[in-house]
Each structure stands twice: as C-alpha cells, then as structure tokens.
Amino acid sequence: MSEMLLDIKNLHVWFKIYNSVLKVLNGVNFNVKFGEKVGLVGEAGCGKTTTMKALLRILPSTALIPEGDIFVRGKNILKLNSRELADLRGRGLSMIFQDPTSALNPVFTIGQQLYDIIQYSAGSSGQKVANKKNVALRALHEARLPDPERMLDSYPIQLSGGMRQRVCIAFAIATARDLLIADEPTTNLDVTIQDQVLRLIRDLVEKKGSSLILITHSLGLAREITERVYVMYAGNMIEMAATSLLFKKPLHPYTKGLLASVPRLSGGGFAEGIPGRIPDYRNPPPGCRFEPRCPYAFEPCSKAMPPYIDVGDGHQVACYLYQNRQENRKNA
C-alpha cells in the first residue's frame, strides 16, 4: 500500500444538466505506483479526462461526486482543506492537456505563466522561490526548446504546435512532482513531431523518477511507453494488465474489438470497427455498459455491472465471461 502513489476507489462522477443528470463515471478503480508508467486507453467520451479532472479537483461546478474515494500518498484528497489542497497541487500532480493552444493563456508570455507556476509550487508555505528565472530556463531547456531566453518573452501565438506542447511539458516538470498526467499529448500534433514529444515525456519521467499516466485512444502509443494499461469504456475500467500481456492476450470483448480495429501493416484483411455507440449517460444500461454492443452478451450482463475478476499475473477484467476462471482459481 505504501508504494501506491495514487489509488482511486469506486469513483462515481455525475454532471448536472438542465433537466437531468449525466452519470459518467460508474465506479472507477484505478491505481498507480510510485515511478510507474500507466496507460489509460479508451475511445472519446468514455470518461478518461473526467477521471483525471476529478483527481486534480478541477471538475466544473456542475459536477458532483456521489460516491468514491481518491487516495494520493495515502491521503483522501476529496476531503482536504484548502491548505492541504494547495500543498497537493504545488508538489504532487501535474497535467499536460490535449490541446496545447487552449492550455496556454494567449495574452500572457510563457515566462509570466511559468514564473507563477514555479512560485506557487511552494504550496501553502508561501515561501518566495529564489532564482525563478533559472528554474524556468532549466525547465525550458529540459523540454528541449530552442533559445529558452527568448522563449520566456514569447507569447503562445508565436510558437508552433509542437513547441507549445513542449512548453506545456516544461510547465509540468519545472518543479519536482510525483505524477505527470499526459492527456492525449500528441493527438493535435503533426505525425513527425508526435514521436519526439512522446520520447521527451518518457525520458523526463524516467529521469525524474515520477509516475506517468498516459491517456490515449491510440493503442500503439500505450504499447510503446507504458508498463501497465487500463482499458476504459463508458465510465468503467473494464480491463487492466501489464502492457505486453494485454496486447498478447486481450480478454474483454471490447478490448478485443479495439485491437481488431487497428489496421495491420502486414497480413491481410480490413480493420473491423465495433458496431454501435457509447451509451447515453442520462440513461445508462443497468448492467454492464458494454452489453448493448457486445457480441458475447448473455444473461447476467444486463442485470448488474460485472465485478473485477482476477485471472492471474496481475490481469483483471470486468466481464462475466470469465467468472468461471476466477472460481476455478479459487477452487484450485
């Protein structure tokens, strides 16, 4: 337990809309160890970003958390007072957003924003941070940005997409933090830059010994960088395993469908999509949320959400198809 940096237990998040409620997160379980690189894979709208925003406590005011806990370094962060929250934000977590253009305030220079981030990383102690400029320059340098001095006085509009994302990375690593969350960091970038940015993230994370959560809808990316992967669908984690194991032996029908959707460079055949759509969060299915689209659905699937079934080697899947395996292992 002490090696667990982050532990999200049974998290439910709802959003109030004008005449009803969107029940987006449906009991999410997610954890990250110190220094671990974890992937979070799922299609658009499945709740990946919501989970992270809940973690950082930057959910919009229309959101509410009816159930669940989030533990960071053993402390339940949903119950923090403002001083503890300031400490957490200053030292604990950082996030790189999907769209670097909207993540940078257009009317302030890079330097102005960076100085404030550095200053307030002292958390609630409020100490004046010395040598802000050196810290800033070093961060920009580590993010492999050219001419850091001039970068400090530049506005986001003057930079290319790749540079903006590297600036966001610089913000994230400027001061020592335990966890870096990268939310689709390369989606909005040119293919040629994607690789560089991704490698930069991996190198920095390894160098500083931080943990990494890589959120992506691209399985290939997850495979390259992460040690362990969660697959998410419609507000639930439906499968989790060590990366290589997941790709070798996917168990959940959804995961299988995802992998089959990726076009192969070698071998024949077209990629198959997964027919159907994510459910309406106003009226989600009472049982497994994938059941309406699942080709293997059978009787228990529409009754209740399947529990996590441990099939060995740290591989967990939330699917009734495998409940025998769990029982078999128990009996064995």
Partner 1 sequence: MMTEKMFTPNAIENPRVRRLDSLKKSWYKFSRNWLSLLGLVIVVIIVFLAVFAPYVAPYPQHAGKFIDFKFMNQPPSWQHLMGTDEIGRDVFSRIIFAYRSALFMAIVVLAISVPFGTLAGLIAGYYSGSWIDTVIMRVTDVFISIPPILLALSIAAVLRPTLVNTMIAVSVSWWPWYTRMTYSLASSIKNEFYVHAAEITGASKTHILFHEILPNCSSSLFTKIALDIGWVTLVGAALSFVGLGEQPPKPGLGDMISKGIERMPAQWWIALFPALAIMFLVLGFNLFGDGIRDTLSPEEG
Partner 2 sequence: MRLGPFILRRLALSIFVLFGLSILIFLIARVIPGDPARMALGPRTPVDVVEKLRQKMHLDKSLPQQYGFWLRDIITRGDLGDSLLTRRPVKQDIREFFPATLELVGLTAIFIVVFGISLGVISARYANTWVDKVVRLFSYLGIVTPAFAWAVILMLLFCFVWYLFPSYGRLTEGVIPPVTITGMYTIDSLLNGRLDLFWDAFVHLILPAIALALPPMSQAARLTRSSMADNQNKDYIASMIAYGVPSRIVSRKYLLKPSLISPLTVMGLDIAATFGYAFMVEQIFAFPGLARYGIQVMLNKDVNAIVGVVMVLGVVFIILNLTIDILVSYLDPRIRLLGRSS
Closest by alpha carbon to 89, among 130, 126, 131, 120?
A: 120
Of 86, 193, 260, 297, the residue at the interface with partner 2 (CB under 8 A) is 86
Please report how close the Cβ of residue 98 comes to partner 1 at its closest, in angstroms. Answer: 16
Give residue for tokens 């990726």: 262
Task: Return d(Cα 290, Cα 124) in angstroms, integer.
Answer: 44
Task: Return d(Cα 110, Cα 104) in angstroms, integer.
Answer: 8
By CB under 8 A, tell whether 45 contacts partner 1: yes
Please report how close the Cβ of residue 227 comes to partner 2 at its closest, in angstroms. Answer: 24
Task: Return d(Cα 309, Cα 326) in angstroms, integer.
Answer: 6
Closest by alpha carbon to 44, among 98, 123, 115?
A: 98
The site that binds partner 2 (CB under 8 A) totals a number of residues, namely: 32
Task: Return d(Cα 205, Cα 214) in angstroms, integer.
Answer: 11
Of 67, 195, 206, 280, the residue at the interface with partner 1 (CB under 8 A) is 280
Of 97, 115, 171, 281, the residue at the interface with partner 1 (CB under 8 A) is 281
- β-strand partners of 20: 17
By CB under 8 A, tell whether 277 contacts partner 1: yes
| Residue 166 in tokens | 């590297």
Task: Return d(Cα 292, Cα 274) in angstroms, integer.
Answer: 11
By CB under 8 A, tell whether 16 contacts partner 1: no
Of 3, 44, 81, 106, the residue at the interface with partner 2 (CB under 8 A) is 106
> Residue 45 binds which one of partner 1, partner 2, none, with CB within 5 to 8 A depending on kind?
partner 1
By CB under 8 A, tell whether 188 contacts partner 2: no
By CB under 8 A, tell whether 97 contacts partner 2: yes
User: Candidates 152-160, 221-229, 295-303, 308-316 — which segment interacts with partner 2 by CB under 8 A?
Assistant: 152-160
> How far is Cα of residue 34 from the mean position of the Cα atoms in its chain?
15
| Residue 265 in tokens | 């460079």
Element (H, E) at 68: strand 63-72
Q: Where are the beta strands (DSSP E) in 244-324?
A: 309-310, 316-317
Please report how close the Cβ of residue 24 comes to partner 2 at its closest, in angstroms. Answer: 16
Element (H, E) at 312: none
> Residue 188 binds which one of partner 1, partner 2, none, with CB within 5 to 8 A depending on kind?
none
User: Candidates 72-80, 136-144, 262-270, 276-284 — which segment interacts with partner 1 by CB under 8 A?
Assistant: 276-284
Task: Return d(Cα 200, Cα 165) in angstroms, integer.
Answer: 11
Angle between helix axes 110-120 and 132-142 (nearest 10 degrees) is 110
By CB under 8 A, tell whether 60 contacts partner 2: yes
Task: Return d(Cα 234, Cα 27) in angstroms, integer.
Answer: 11
Please report how close the Cβ of residue 156 comes to partner 2 at its closest, in angstroms. Answer: 9
By CB under 8 A, tell whether 90 contacts partner 2: yes
Of 64, 129, 157, 259, the residue at the interface with partner 2 (CB under 8 A) is 157
Please report how close the Cβ of residue 228 comes to partner 2 at its closest, in angstroms. Answer: 24
Q: Which residues bind partner 1 (CB under 8 A)?
A: 22, 45, 277, 280-281
Q: Which residues bind partner 2 (CB under 8 A)?
A: 53, 56, 58, 60, 86, 88-91, 93-95, 97, 99, 102-108, 113, 116-117, 120-121, 123, 155, 157-158, 168, 171
